[in-house]
Chains A and B, each alone.
Chain A
Amino acid sequence: MIEKADQIFVLLGHWLVSFLPAALQKPALVLLAVVAIIVTFPALFAITVLLERKGLGRMQNRYGPNRVGPYGLFQPVADGIKSLTKEDIVPLSADAVVHFLAPVLLVVVVFMGYAVLPIGRNMTLVNLDAGILFFFAIGASSELSVFMAGWSSRNKYSLLGAMRAVAQMISYEVPLLMSSLAVVMITGSLNANRIVDAQNQYTYGLPHWYIFTPWGFAGFLLFAVAATAETNRSPFDLPEGESELVAGYFTEYSGFKFALFFLGEYVGMMGISGLGTTLFLGGYSAPLQVLGFVPSWAWFIGKIMLSMCVFIWVRGTLPRLRQDQLMNFAWKFVLPLSLLNLFVAAAWRFMGQGFLRWVVCSAVLLIAYVVMARVGMKREHFGPRSYRYAE
């Protein structure tokens, strides 16, 4: 019974496909799974948008939207209708082809990332051997769409926003990769299912999630920071800063294209949360062994929604970082720490089982954190000004 609930989507898929001739069954199953992803994650996107607006509102001592439907639950529907029926304005001197392709590219790339995430037991769309590498490769392509959006608008401010966004995404790409590299190193495989299987074991009912190890905890924090920056999310949302650059690189987009960018951003956020869940939070495994009766896909979706809640929480709390502060943070703090994390993970692996490795690894990471905070994040002290006058 529990097995059935766990595998319900797989069984449903196989049953639906059994009506077709044998030759078409495999492609039909893949197509069905693709359709399922394309339906599920935008639905989660609608829920997330509502959660964000209401959650941010509550954090700011106000109600969120509460007029459309009971407690504002139909607000995403209203938003969807609005963005579909708005006039699509393309600037006269804009590059029409590139302007059209930018949101398309973003959405395509972002959805492709879901192909390698294990959404449940036996529920990975494509079980690639180099799955994690695929996800990062696809994620890197989304930067190109940001650039295309900014450049094709023929708007200096859009271009500026796009440049900043691309610079930010490239800078934080490296710590993102480094922190996940520690996980890959310890597991010994780039296969997402293998990584989840390695974490799906329990001692005394507690799971072997990588976040519960010192290097995993540090890695998860670094991954979270880099993921926030990759998806241009507050506090790293200067490129789309609402008060600085109007809307940054998507200033000139209206109506459905804007909705596509919005969708792409949130679905990308969910994708990268999914990757973080797979790498550090044990994917579809339950936190306690006794809770194993809950279906695996429910745990995965639940962990993704929890990550989204944390994203929203951080957005409501922290002020925006300036571009140079952002870049300093990336290169002078996050990157050295993620390199060190790699070393610590290696030391963890070779120190054998026991209490010593916990103490040593935690101590090294803590000391490095404090030292880097003092050294890497030093603020410039401005001396007295010197003036130069024209002769």
Chain B
Amino acid sequence: MSFVLYILAALTVAGGLAAVLLKNTVHCALALTVAFAGLALLFLELDAQFAGFAQILIYIGAVAILVVFAILLTRGSETPKGSAYSHSPLVGLVIAACVFAVLGWAVLHSTAQLPPGTTSATPTVTVADIGNALMTRYVLPLEIVALLLTAALIGAVIVAMHEKEGSR
């Protein structure tokens, strides 16, 4: 495990923790952005260029802004009154432990599946390879996802239009 990986991991975890523990909601959204950035850097460290840049472009460039807009348009910038922590921490801890166990098992089990002779170097996957795969092997899921996104867009437009209709 390299030194850089430790730093990036610390950054991501710190971002995630800050996103949960901070009082001001917009601060939480910005901390979440830091966590996204940490993830992107982790991808880049592992030489997955497309995944890293797509993470920055989509998560930081669009999702973070969406989150921030949503916060602003619904709750405003007032800090929430009352405790930000739930009233039953024990249940939360149990659920968190279960999720961690499942994810840990999945990760460890996946490396065990590799044949024992492989080197630790990851195969280089270029953008061209990803493009090729998307257009030949995974073209049906791609089209289905596109259809789903179009349906979501049309639904959003209809909902917004209805609201405009309703406010008249």
Contacts and interface: CB of A to CB of B under 8 A. Distances in A.
B68 interface: yes
A151 interface: yes
Contacts of A137: 53-54, 56-57, 60-61
Contacts of A163: 69, 72
Contact of B127 (A133, A143, A147): A133
B62 A138 contact: no
Contacts of B65: 143-144, 147, 166, 170
Interface size class of B (residues with CB under 8 A): 20 to 34
A129 interface: yes
Contacts of B33: 144
Contact of B60 (A128, A140, A151, A189): A140
Nearest to A147: B68
A45 to B, nearest CB: 24
Given A140-B62, A143-B61, A170-B65, A129 B126 contact: yes
Given A129-B49, A137-B54, A144 B127 contact: no
Contacts of B128: 188-189
Interface string B27-68: 100100100000000000000011001101100111011001
B49 A144 contact: no
B56 A141 contact: yes
Contact of A98 (B30, B49, B64): B30
A173 B61 CA distance: 10
Interface residues of A, number: 27
Contacts of A134: 53
Interface string B88-101: 00000000000000
B56 A151 contact: no
A129 B47 CA distance: 11
B77 interface: yes
Interface in A165-181: 166, 170, 173
A189 B128 CA distance: 8
A140 B77 contact: no
A67 B27 CA distance: 46
B61 A140 contact: yes
B26 interface: yes
Contacts of A256: none
B11 to A, nearest CB: 15
Interface string A98-134: 1000000000000000000000000000001110011
A151 B64 CA distance: 14
B36 to A, nearest CB: 10
Contact of B54 (A133, A141, A144): A133
Contacts of B127: 129-130, 133, 190
Contacts of A258: none
A178 to B, nearest CB: 14
6 contacts: A95-B27, A98-B30, A136-B57, A137-B60, A144-B60, A147-B68
Given A129-B126, A140-B57, A173-B61, 9 more contacts: A98-B27, A133-B127, A137-B56, A140-B62, A141-B56, A144-B60, A144-B64, A159-B72, A188-B128
Interface of A: 95, 98, 128-130, 133-134, 136-141, 143-144, 147-148, 151, 154, 159, 163, 166, 170, 173, 188-190
